[in-house]
Structure 1
Amino acid sequence: MKLVSRSQWGARAYRTPNGATPYSRPRRGVKFHYLGTAYSDRSHDKCDDYVRQIQAQHMDGNGWSDIGYSFVVCTHGYVYEGRGLKRRNSANGNTSLNEQDYAVLLMVGSTGLTKPTDAQLHGARDALEYCRTQGPAGMWIGGHRDGYATACPGDAVYAWVKAGAPRPAASPTPPKTTTPEENDVAFTKDDLETLAGTDGVFKAPKDAADYSADPKSPKHYWAFGSHVNDNTTRIRRIDKTTAALTAQVAALAAAVAALARDGGLPLAQVQAAAEAGAKAALEQLGDTLTKES
């Protein structure tokens, strides 16, 4: 329960003796109220101001000895202490009704914001249970209109009251949706971002300059980003080697063609030399790829 005490919201001192009148018997239950005027939601740092405004209207406009409610619940789920558990409220319509039940206001209006938020319903339920366990209050719950001619607490709040003042059901977590392209990859973007920020997960390459054969050595492992950089370097090196070998094969092919054309060597000998050169070039490329993998 997010209880805001009178001192925390800046309540004025109540007038005596009426503002100090205690309940003379245990309360039957709790009656819920709404503002009955237009209300628009606001950031929580403005809720204290509004509760003080309610108190000022009750004390200066109505001539009451204090704010009329036992507790006030804002849309963010905070429960403001009004007259509290021990001092008789003045919001239920007459002395007998005030004596009979606690009065809990939900800060919603007759126009504007008329439906309580989920956080507010949780706060109202907190206030109800607090009144029952600490008041004490009985199990009865109702609205201001029960036993008194008024539209309060409004249809939305009253429907919640008549349903037993339940806590809002938790919203289910929607399933994650993916595109066909995302389903085809081994890692999602979130997976890669997690791996990129994770140290000490992947073994370092054995040909790394700082590789340590000791599994407990910090140098035995690399961060994900280090692996990415290392693989990028290796791929560039392979590209350069491939380009160089391609140039060598092209030069060799030109030489073979020249020899065959000029007749400097028998054609079979030239072909054998070309095949041997090509085989050597391919073996060199294979050795390079093996070393870089």
Structure 2
Amino acid sequence: MKLVTRAQWGARAYRTPNGATPYGRARKGVKVHYLGAPYKDRAHDKCAAYVRSLQASHMDDNGWSDIGYSFVVCTHGYSFEGRGLKRRNSANGNTTLNDENYAVCALVGSSGLTTPTDPQLNGIRDTIEYCREKGPAGDWLGGHRDGYATTCPGAALYAWVQEGAPRPNGSTTPEEDDPMAAITKTDIFNAVWKTDGLAAPADAADVKTNPNWQPQSILRDIQARVRANAAVEAGQSAAIARLAQLVGSGVDTTAVVAAVQQAITDAVIKVDVDINGASA
């Protein structure tokens, strides 16, 4: 689904409290609409501006609290979020009808462009499925004219709705058009993060057990090296302190050397423990 969020199309803030009214019941299904006014198709980079003008008309001319529709689908197949899944629409005719079904409007007019495009039909179908899955909405599907005296959504669009809103002949879902369409940024991140095959440096702490690194192996090795350095520094400090004690007490050179060697051995043992622990 090519969803354009309110923030992405530059929606005005809706008025409260009415604009924040949630649905009071489970949605039976989806009602499809058209503009009921002349519409001329335009380049996709102009569609957001048109949706903003539609919102302005509903709020400023009609006095509504927001754009009336749940979603608006342009001729390029993009679904612009209106009141969305949770806030009750105001496009179906009255409060009861608004509360029963989502309202999905196609940018198709009563004159000018009157026949929906194939990408638009796919976009409407995507939006219907989105409402069913995420709303949730039931399986009922109709036009604005169902239960309300209007010609909306026009002859061409209503005929398609009565057929069950099939995808156009020969068309595919967005995922079939583009196998990457359903893959999220999180999926890509996880796939890259878990990829194995980067050769580990010869001096890596766990190179014997992990000759091929994942990105997380780099962090483990850095952690091991930091711990190793800290342990060596601690061992050196202990050796210096012990050396000072022995020299001050008049112990001979042999004893001093033995004490230093023991302190270094203790540090090496601690380094090995830390590295193994970090690599576990």
Same fold, judged at TM 0.5 (above): yes
Which residue pairs with 1:130 in the alignment?
130
AA at the equivalent of 2:34: Y
AA at the equivalent of 2:119: A
Distance in 1, matches of 2:37 and 2:14, equals 24
Which residue pairs with 1:119 in the alignment?
119
Distance in 2, matches of 1:93 and 1:53, equals 21
Q: String of CA shifts for 1:121-179, please: whole Å, max 9, x gaps.
A: 000000000000000100000000000000000000000000000001117xxxxxxxx
Structure 2, unpaired ranges of 5+: 172-280
Which residue pairs with 1:164 in the alignment?
164
Note the C-alpha offset of 1:61.
Answer: 0.3
Which residue pairs with 1:86 in the alignment?
86
AA at the equivalent of 2:37: T
AA at the equivalent of 2:130: Y
Aligned: 1:16 with 2:19:
no
Distance in 1, matches of 2:24 and 2:153, equals 26
Distance in 1, matches of 2:26 and 2:100, equals 8
- Report the number of matched residues: 172
* Equivalent residue runs for 1:4-153 within 5 Å: 4-153=4-153
AA at the equivalent of 1:142: G
SS of the aligned residue for 1:14 comes to coil
* Equivalent residue runs for 1:174-253 within 5 Å: none
Distance in 1, matches of 2:55 and 2:39, equals 16
Q: String of CA shifts for 1:73-108, please: whole Å, max 9, x gaps.
A: 000000000000000000000000000000000000
SS of the aligned residue for 1:130 comes to helix
AA at the equivalent of 1:22: P
Task: Tell me which structure has the larger Cα radius of gyration.
Answer: 1
SS of the aligned residue for 2:24 comes to coil
Q: String of CA shifts for 1:196-241, please: whole Å, max 9, x gaps.
A: xxxxxxxxxxxxxxxxxxxxxxxxxxxxxxxxxxxxxxxxxxxxxx
**Percent pairwise identity:** 75
Structure 1, unpaired ranges of 5+: 172-293
TM-score, normalised to structure 2's length? Answer: 0.61
AA at the equivalent of 1:84: G
Which residue pairs with 2:207 in the alignment?
none
Note the C-alpha offset of 1:115.
Answer: 0.2
Distance in 2, matches of 1:64 and 1:144, equals 18
Which residue pairs with 1:244 in the alignment?
none
AA at the equivalent of 1:99: D
Distance in 2, matches of 1:120 and 1:38, equals 17
AA at the equivalent of 1:3: L
Distance in 1, matches of 2:166 and 2:50, equals 26
SS of the aligned residue for 1:97 comes to helix
Distance in 2, matches of 1:3 and 1:161, equals 21
SS of the aligned residue for 1:7 comes to helix
SS of the aligned residue for 2:29 comes to strand
Distance in 2, matches of 1:69 and 1:131, equals 13
Distance in 1, matches of 2:158 and 2:97, equals 18
TM-score, normalised to structure 1's length? Answer: 0.58
Distance in 2, matches of 1:75 and 1:21, equals 29
Distance in 2, matches of 1:156 and 1:57, equals 25
AA at the equivalent of 1:55: Q
